[in-house]
Amino acid sequence: MLASLLVLVSPTGVPQVLDAPIVLKVDTAKVLCNISPYIYGSNENDWAKSGKYLTFGRQGGNRMTAYNWENNASNAGGDWHNQNDDFLGGGNTPGEVPRKAVADALDNQKTFLVTVPLLGYVAADKFADGDVNKTPNYLEKRFRKSLPKKGAKFQYPPDLTDDSVYQDEFVWWLEKAFPVRSETSHIWYSLDNEPDIWSGTHSRIHPQKGTYAEIVQKSVSMAKAIKAVAPKTLIFGPASYGWAGYTHFQDAPDANGRDFLETYLSEMQEASKDAGKRLVDVLDLHWYPEARGDNKRIVEPDSTPGIAKARMQATRSLWDPTYVEDSWITQSLGNKPINLIPLIMSKIAKSSPGTKLAFTEYQYGGQNHISGAIAQADTLGIFGREGVYAAALWPYAGEAAFVHAGFDAFRNYDGNGAQFGDVALGATSSDPAHVSIYASKFSHKNGKVVLVIVNQYGGARSCQLSMASPGKQTRQYSVTQESPKIHIQHFADLKDTGFALNLPAMSVNVLEIEE
């Protein structure tokens, strides 16, 4: 019988338990799901450095909504004075902005998600002269119509004199530019970026609130045009910005009490039946938690005790039907849990079975604090266990060594490319709120199990780990609050199916068990 608990509070504000070992159990015979390789992604695409062992990249953000592939002009929208300019680079070579990004990804054996503008207008020039509304009739003079389908012969370079930009011609050219790809390298396409808030981010082009009918119609038209020239690709949509987008498309005037995601999925499903092909393969969402600690959102770089504690706990809102975070979202639900991934999966099962789920932007803050590493590691473990198909971290401003350490726990824990497995196994913790465990094995080889175990407590924790046939040798690698660099914590020979394990205070731990 476990001893009683003595709970103190550490200087970090995180509970510190001084007694009673945590009981961890791994069932190597219980396969939960195959872990998608594409959950280890980023929007930063620094393949030579922090992205070396990642798998998936994306080129997105507000700039891509009005990006003109013919001349590489873009409009900053509300991010910078609604200005047309050459911020994205690429010079005057058509398509150079996405071409370079795709080439870098494929050269490094990665899969890449390209954003295709959906709004209807793209920037015509790169004048960098401030707000385009200073120009009379700016929509006609400073922008070009962006159309899904050309309806005529494709060409490269594209015709710059016809006052229109064709997105199927863009996809045709990009597919043609990269005809050879490896088994781990794909080009996929996203239907724009955060259309639910176009009226805020791109008010010069779309001043009115978006509607359900509009986004469905635009998605259907563009998806058909893309699939006509790239029939084997995957299409991601609608790249919703967050909770209010998921539920009512940011107060869409035609919401009429309907849940947006359920409506979008069901209407895309019907359109797919009519088209004879699936039009949206992956439901694409963005997730920036609204959870708060010390009266601030956890996505801030601050890591005061309250923020750090809330940040580490916030990942529970992805899966835990008992956890209620401190946020306006839970308040709007009557102080009920978010339970995000199971909730979204249920909507998919109801309205569009077979659609995959992606989070192509997310971030938990704490880039220079151990709480950032813990939140990142927990997020990746949850994505794998819950069957998420693809995910891409939104880059932080400045260094983010602790967050990258959270990735390393799954992709490079020994400094030489050692990785978490690709099959999720059953695993439980007697204290899942503060000590979480993720278990894996490899589909292509036997005899090796890799665990990621996260300790949120402000003190070291002893654990009793049990599993059938754990092997004969174990290595423990840890990231602690002292440094984001993973280091060997423990190496031992095993003699039975259960053994004691020590977790350093506030740490991410990888346990490699092999025969």
Could you tell me the maximum CA-CA distance found in the chain, to the nearest angstrom? 80
CA 456 to chain centre: 23
Beta bridge partners of 466: 25, 498
Q: Which amino acid is at 314?
A: A
Task: Answer for the pair 319, 341: CB distance below 8 angstroms, yes or no.
Answer: yes
What is the rounded distance in angstroms from the CA atom of residue 324 to the CA atom of residue 176? 49
| Marked catalytic residue, from 44, 70, 194, 512 | 194
Element containing residue 313 per DSSP (H, E)? helix 305-314
194 classed as catalytic: yes
Task: Answer for the pair 135, 82: CB distance below 8 angstroms, yes or no.
Answer: no
Q: Which amino acid is at 90?
A: G
Token pair for residue 389? Answer: 């198909």
User: Hey, is 477 helix, strand or coil?
Assistant: strand
Question: Beta strand pairing status for 38-42 and 187-191?
Answer: unpaired
Intra-chain end-to-end CA distance of the chain, in Å: 31
> Which residues are within 8 A (CB) of 72 and not within 5 positions of it... i.e. 6 or more apart?
86, 88, 89, 90, 91, 92, 93, 94, 95, 96, 97, 126
Token pair for residue 420? Answer: 């978490």
Task: Answer for the pair 108, 54: CB distance below 8 angstroms, yes or no.
Answer: no
Token pair for residue 319? Answer: 């899966």
Token pair for residue 330? Answer: 């839970």
Cα distances from 298 to residues 44, 325, 363, in angstroms, run: 21, 11, 9
Task: Answer for the pair 364, 290: CB distance below 8 angstroms, yes or no.
Answer: no
Question: Beta strand pairing status for 22-34 and 423-429?
Answer: antiparallel
Phi (first) and psi of residue 98, to 5 degrees: -70, -30
Task: Answer for the pair 409, 508: CB distance below 8 angstroms, yes or no.
Answer: yes
Q: Nearest Cα to 61, choosing from 76, 81, 41, 45?
A: 76
Beta bridge partners of 464: 23, 500
Edge-to-edge, what's the strand order for the sheet holding 461-467?
Answer: 483-493, 473-480, 507-514, 448-455, 435-441, 423-429, 22-34, 461-467, 498-503
Residue by residue, DSSP assigns 69-113 as TTTTBEE-GGGTTTBEE-TT--TTSTTHHHHHHHHHHHHTT-EEE
Catalytic residues: 194
